[in-house]
Amino acid sequence: MAGVEERNVALLDEPPVLGPGQTFDSVTDTITDIVLKRPIGLGWLAGLAIGMGLLGVLLMAVSYLFLRGVGIWGINIPVGWGFAIINFVWWIGIGHAGTLISAILLLFKQTWRNSINRFAEAMTLFAVACAGMFPLLHMGRPWLGYWMFPYPNSMGVWPQFRSPLVWDVFAVSTYATISAVFWFVGLVPDLATMREQATNPFARKLYGALSLGWRGSARHWTRYEALYILLAGISTPLVLSVHTVVSFDFAVAIVPGWHTTIFPPYFVAGAIYSGFAMVLVLAIPIRKFYGLEDMITMRHLQNSAKIMLATGLIVGYGYFFETFVALYSGSTYERFMIHNRWFGPYAVFYWALIVLNILIPQVLWSPKIRANTAWLFFISLVVLVGMWLERFVIIVTSLHRDYLPSSWGHYVATRWDWATYAGTIGLFTAAIFLFIRIMPAISIFEIRMLLPQAEVKE
């Protein structure tokens, strides 16, 4: 017990994971009332309207794309990837923080994760949905998207498994599936709580059906916990593999600036970096507007900020080594690539990326800034933009000028590129707003486990 006391003393200067004076009743009510009791407010309606409006833009952009083909985008040879792949990598990276919180922090027994894992997992799902759309739309004939999967067909052809693009199909579809079941399994006991708390007969039926008749039996809990920890265990290598495979899309190619072994770890760190930025962008307003300061405490925000700082430094190390290896390798093409990044037509994006992704987030070293939600919110937005620019720089500067100067080109995004991108932000926003009002946004049973009352005394 001495160890526990020492740790408690060490934690005294840190804010608590849970506000004081909470009971089983109070946590249940606080979380379920957001869905079941709280009237629909103007703020929520406005947020949903913005999300739905942008979702409308997405529908327009996609309809026009289906009508005219990918020629409405700015892509052409040599820059054939453009916004579609930039946004794909950006969105899927954002999803990674959700899995990190729900799986990796669970394995490390970081109990503070219990109040943010649910909405972080939801964030993962919606981000992966946004991400998955881009390669599909990019194919030009999205209705043939199922050709990517190995299935017996009358054409007698099969996918080519030596290509990282096929690996990507497997990685992303597995990631989406496992994230979805992990999220649903985590929800089942809370849906049972919603079933009993709801007074509206339709809501009772809906939550009742979704809760699968969960009754909190000790036998069920034992199997449930065994599965939950195993899912966390398999999700941990899975999430690391997903962005690794995404980075293989680049690293396996021989394009200067892509063909490097540092890509997998640096992509994974970047993914977690932007993912935690999105967690903060969502958590800070949610805790404020829904009065959840006792459950999503400053401790959560500060820990997220620290993870951002750490992963940001790994990303900075990645940038440094990318440059160093290019110069040290003596390869003309690699050296030109760095020169072109620094002083070429897209140099302004590169330097903006360094400022937004590396310089500004260094203020997170200050405990005062980490304790200030406005600053955290601002820095998170900065990081999200910075990480988007990183993908832009990687894709566009490498492709637009590779080996042959005769086939150099220039890439400018069209309004349809921007409309599609803004549209997926709308899809994400609308989904998050609906999620908050339909599902318990914080895991109720895991919060109950954090209460001192939950401990079994001898």
Residues engaged in binding another protein (CB under 8 A): 23-25, 28, 150, 156-162, 164, 166-167, 170-171, 174, 177-178, 181-182, 185, 189, 192-193, 195-197, 208-209, 212-227, 230-231, 234-235, 237-238, 241, 245, 248, 445-446, 448-449, 453-457
Identity of the residue, 241 or 398, whose beta carbon is nearer to another protein in the bound complex:
241
Identity of the residue, 236 or 424, whose beta carbon is nearer to another protein in the bound complex:
236
Give the H or E element holding residue 202.
Answer: helix 201-210
Please state, in angstroms and rounded to a whole number, the distance separating the CA atoms of residues 277 and 376.
Answer: 9
Please state, in angstroms and rounded to a whole number, the distance separating the CA atoms of residues 242 and 247.
Answer: 9
Identity of the residue, 8 or 160, whose beta carbon is nearer to another protein in the bound complex:
160
Rounded alpha-carbon distances, angstroms, from residue 179 to 73, 96, 190, 353, 433: 31, 10, 17, 30, 19
- Spatial contact of 291 and 19, defined as CB atoms under 8 Å apart: no
CB of 26 to another protein, least distance (A): 9
How wide is the angle at C-alpha 181 spanned by C-alphas 152 and 50, nearest 5°?
A: 100
Identity of the residue, 48 or 240, whose beta carbon is nearer to another protein in the bound complex:
240
CB of 256 to another protein, least distance (A): 19
CB of 229 to another protein, least distance (A): 9
Gyration radius from the chain CA atoms: 23
CB of 212 to another protein, least distance (A): 4
3-state secondary structure 17-74: CCCCCCCHHHHHHHHHHHHHCCCCCHHHHHHHHHHHHHHHHHHHHHHHHHHHCHHHCC
CB of 2 to another protein, least distance (A): 23
Identity of the residue, 32 or 420, whose beta carbon is nearer to another protein in the bound complex:
32
CB of 333 to another protein, least distance (A): 20
Identity of the residue, 222 or 366, whose beta carbon is nearer to another protein in the bound complex:
222
Identity of the residue, 44 or 147, whose beta carbon is nearer to another protein in the bound complex:
147
152: which residues sit within 8 A by CB, 6+ positions away? none
CB of 193 to another protein, least distance (A): 4
Please state, in angstroms and rounded to a whole number, the distance separating the CA atoms of residues 64 and 60.
Answer: 6
